[in-house]
Structure 1
Amino acid sequence: MKNSELIFIPSPGIGHLVSALEFAKRVIDYDSRISFTILCIKFPFTAFSNSYIKSVLASQPRIRLIDLPEVDPPPPEPLKPPVYLIYVFTERLIPHKRQIDDEFKDSGPELLIPGFSNLVPPKYAIDDILKDEKVPPIYTVGPLIELKGQPNSNLDQAQHVKTMKWLDDQPPSSVVFLCFGSMGILSPSQTRELAEGLKNSGVRFLWAMRSPPTKDHADRTLTEGFLESTHDNGMICGWAPQVGVLAHKSIVGFVSHCGWNSIMESLWFGVPILRWPIYAEQQLNAFRMVREFGLAVELILDYRSDGDLVLADEIERGITQLTDRDSEVRKKVQEMKEKARKAVSSGGSSFISTGRLIEDIIDRNI
């Protein structure tokens, strides 16, 4: 039998690595002729779970992980977006990628990927790309979701149990989950607006806040008395097991930065999103979720000289719309939940596309 090896170089961060590992596991389950080598790039500013990686490697001998050497992170620059830090960090890793036994070679000429300088076409579809002879084969294999939820070294077991126990005590479809990703730290002024909007909405909430406030500096980040006034119907934590939270029966909506993993997980569990993009591709993800697919609720920014803010009134309006049991968005999300599960099941579109990819790899060595 002819075997093939695929080499993956995911972007820095645990979220990108999880998708690569999940795809590798899916392909191996489909066909044992394929093996994987994956470069592991640990970004210094985000949480990383070595225990999760070790568990995957222990169960999948056909997956090999190469840890790139650690390099000094770029100095923080307040006026630069997070994606700039990722770019500088990745540039510093390039010499190490070229020192790995010369086994990584270019597989073809560089491709020109057009940007979105004009309005995004309303009828954009994957079929339009596939018709372009200049574009290499594209295989639609998603969604790629780690359903068990990778463990996080920053979350001790006691906090995990506390979070899930709190959710267990809430009524079904009553809690809004708020999480802005591993690098989604809101400004103090934005945090105050969000706190006020949550308080005024009266909704139950679980807020995964980076560096959660303590009594010593709560007045600087949250509206006065917020923690006390919402004690009975809200919980703030530094990190939450996102997959487990979204799968919980008490969750009614998700306030998200619209990272692609978060979008896929919310759709898989049928949880509507209130879009709140922060950086990188999240703006485009949010645009498509709201305007093209109707799968998310929109928030409107207030543009002002001291920075863009989502004001408390707008947050309250968005949460009210998010929790509407009869909204069109909720109906469409439920439909997408069913489509996603059918796609990856035997005979589904993703299942078939994965098979085509494997045969092309084996037969043509692409």
Structure 2
Amino acid sequence: MSKSEVVFISTPGSIGNLVPLVEFAQLLVNHDPRFHASILTITMPQRPTIDTYIQSRAAASATSINFLHLPTVEPLAEDENQSYLAYLSLLIEKHKPHVKHTIADLMSSAESNRVVAFFVDMFCTSMIDVANELEIPCYMFFASPATFLSFMFHIPVLDAEISDDFGDLDTELTIPGFANSVPPLVLPTALLSKKGDTYPCYLSHTARYKEPKGIVVNTFKELEPHALSSLSTSHVPRVHAIGPVVDHNGPAQWQDPDLYESVVKWLDDQPPSSVVLLCFGSMGSLSGPQVREIAFGLERAGFRFLWALREPPKSSVYLPSDPANVDEVLPDGFLERTCKFGLVCGWVPQVKILAHQAIGGFVSHCGWNSILESLWYGVPIATWPIYSEQQMNAFEMVKELGLAVEIRLDYREGSDLVLAGEVERSIKSLMEGDHVVRARVKDMREKSRMALMENGSAYKALEGLIVELMPKI
């Protein structure tokens, strides 16, 4: 029996965008066997772990999802003044002919009934042109929260109203997706200044957000009711809140299985909800001085901890790495003094660690995937944003939703150090102080699971999307 094809493409090099997109593709084909998914991938040699993830998922989803590697394009000329987003946007643009050719082949294949949709992500907006040329309905898959989607739609309005750099403003901003006014310093670093090429890139992408037929957002109604309501206007394509879409297995294939087993064994020996996990995502790392302040704060707080410590990458196109020698980046004697209640390790599959009963708190960079994982397993967060939209996510979690404890809301590269005393106070608040936040997180845990059940809000949203994709069937 031929199946209807759904095609996806994700921003290259971004595991945070790729993983939920793959999980959504899997959710769609599992929910309705009439679909088959093809995921187009742009290779970045600087990030081989992403290829490892793709190989693993391709093997696990051999019959329902096909991963198609696009041909490489002529290498981009290096420009030290070019931002990473500008580099990515040009790289994606150069792949348009390959994408058009690949989808055209799918459309002419005898194995496929028809290509019913092409899903692009937040920075692949140039691929809307391909969908239009091939006369395929185009949708956007948005891996960040509804609050940030609302902000992306509002950027052109702010740009027209405010001539100054946002980072220089001394007044808070009114953004439709937020119930509270938003401090300018929780905007993404790339948007604090209008100088350079990153800010125009954002404007260029957001200018095209009205073009897709619909937008699929990895969130759910019970979590972001205000933000989703703000998006229900004639100026925004129909929004489908189909989350939380979470990879519950985690990228375990990235790391040494012996290390993972030793970490789990250590956790098995700890009391329930007694350990605070410190993990800053696949792209998150901190400076040496900041690492030492965290170490002193952990030692003073005295709670059990598991710390996934990473070294900064060589440049923005590379990922952080595990330290060759943790003794060199930690204070003298730290490991010896904390060996009875703490464990420092390299990369671990975060979602599997959050699922462990010993975890009672999570110091997080506030990537949206991490937030959804923590809510799914009922683990409260202490906010330590680093890059991308994480500052706005942290603001939402603390000020809008009351689902997290604040360490910092506006931390980013170049911020003043979070000193040991602040780390100590925040961890104590996370682990024993704020029972209201912990109760709210537990409640949201149940709501996140109910959303995906039959007749849940996300289940109904997915059903509505399928009706759009295949209205005559």
TM over 0.5: yes
Structure 2 residue aligned with 1:114: 154
Change (3 A) 1:41 1:181: farther
Counterpart-to-counterpart distance in 2, 1:218 and 1:156:
20
Equivalent position SS for 1:206: strand
Counterpart-to-counterpart distance in 1, 2:85 and 2:407:
27
Whether the aligned pair in 1 keeps the contact of 2:394 and 2:409 (CA below 8 Å) is no
**Residue 392 (structure 2) aligned to one of 284, 292, 295:** 284
Deviation at 1:142, TM superposition (A): 0.2
Change (3 A) 1:92 1:213: closer
Q: Scaled by the length of structure 2, what TM-score is found?
A: 0.68
Q: Which amino acid aligns with 1:96?
A: H
Higher relative contact order (CA closer than 8 Å, sequence separation 6+): 1
Deviation at 1:349, TM superposition (A): 0.7
Counterpart-to-counterpart distance in 2, 1:334 and 1:26:
25
Whether the aligned pair in 1 keeps the contact of 2:71 and 2:98 (CA below 8 Å) is no
Structure 2 residue aligned with 1:256: 364
Once the two structures are superposed, what CA deviation does each residue of 1:265-300 show, in whole Å capped at 9, x if it has no partner? 000000000010001111111110111000111114
Whether the aligned pair in 1 keeps the contact of 2:240 and 2:462 (CA below 8 Å) is yes
Q: Tell me whether 1:94 sits opposite 2:93 in the alignment.
A: yes
Change (3 A) 1:86 1:218: farther
Structure 2 residue aligned with 1:147: 248
- 5-14 or 280-289: which moved more? 5-14
Which ranges in structure 2 are unaligned for 5 or more consecutive residues?
A: 104-129, 141-148, 159-172, 181-225, 312-321
Q: Which amino acid aligns with 1:208?
A: A
Change (3 A) 1:51 1:127: closer
Deviation at 1:308, TM superposition (A): 2.2
User: After superposition, where does 1:231-250 map in structure 2 within 5 Å?
Assistant: 231-250=339-358
Structure 1 residue aligned with 2:42: 41
Change (3 A) 1:39 1:229: same
Q: Tell me whether 1:309 sits opposite 2:425 in the alignment.
A: no
- 116-125 or 172-181: which moved more? 116-125
Change (3 A) 1:301 1:193: farther
Change (3 A) 1:15 1:26: same
Counterpart-to-counterpart distance in 2, 1:74 and 1:204:
48
User: After superposition, where does 1:1-366 map in structure 2 within 5 Å?
Assistant: 4-12=4-12, 13-43=14-44, 44-45=46-47, 47-48=49-50, 50=52, 53-69=55-71, 84-100=83-99, 101=101, 103=103, 104-106=130-132, 107=137, 113-115=153-155, 117=158, 118-120=173-175, 121-122=178-179, 124-130=226-232, 132-153=233-254, 155-211=255-311, 212-213=322-323, 218-219=327-328, 221-300=329-408, 307-324=415-432, 327-363=435-471
Once the two structures are superposed, what CA deviation does each residue of 1:313-356 show, in whole Å capped at 9, x if it has no partner? 11111100110276111000000000000000111111111011
Counterpart-to-counterpart distance in 1, 2:288 and 2:248:
33
Equivalent position SS for 2:277: strand
Once the two structures are superposed, what CA deviation does each residue of 1:42-85 show, in whole Å capped at 9, x if it has no partner? 442473253664444543523221223457588797x99xxx42
Say what the alpha-carbon RMSD is for the aligned residues.
3.2
Change (3 A) 1:190 1:46: farther
Counterpart-to-counterpart distance in 2, 1:37 and 1:231:
47
Change (3 A) 1:265 1:76: farther
Change (3 A) 1:108 1:66: closer
Q: Which amino acid aligns with 1:314?
A: E
Change (3 A) 1:344 1:88: same
Share of identical aligned residues, percent? 42
Whether the aligned pair in 1 keeps the contact of 2:54 and 2:67 (CA below 8 Å) is no
Change (3 A) 1:156 1:250: same
Once the two structures are superposed, what CA deviation does each residue of 1:135-164 show, in whole Å capped at 9, x if it has no partner? 1111110000111223333x1121111111
Equivalent position SS for 2:372: helix
Whether the aligned pair in 2 keeps the contact of 1:301 and 1:309 (CA below 8 Å) is no
Q: Scaled by the length of structure 1, what TM-score is found?
A: 0.87
Equivalent position SS for 1:324: helix
Whether the aligned pair in 1 keeps the contact of 2:385 and 2:408 (CA below 8 Å) is no
Counterpart-to-counterpart distance in 1, 2:268 and 2:54:
25
Change (3 A) 1:18 1:169: same
Whether the aligned pair in 1 keeps the contact of 2:309 and 2:347 (CA below 8 Å) is yes
Q: Which amino acid aligns with 1:335?
A: D
Equivalent position SS for 1:280: coil
Change (3 A) 1:306 1:355: closer
Deviation at 1:232, TM superposition (A): 1.3
Q: Which amino acid aligns with 1:225?
A: G
Change (3 A) 1:286 1:326: closer
Equivalent position SS for 2:471: helix
Change (3 A) 1:306 1:261: closer
Equivalent position SS for 1:205: strand
Q: Which amino acid aligns with 1:126?
A: L
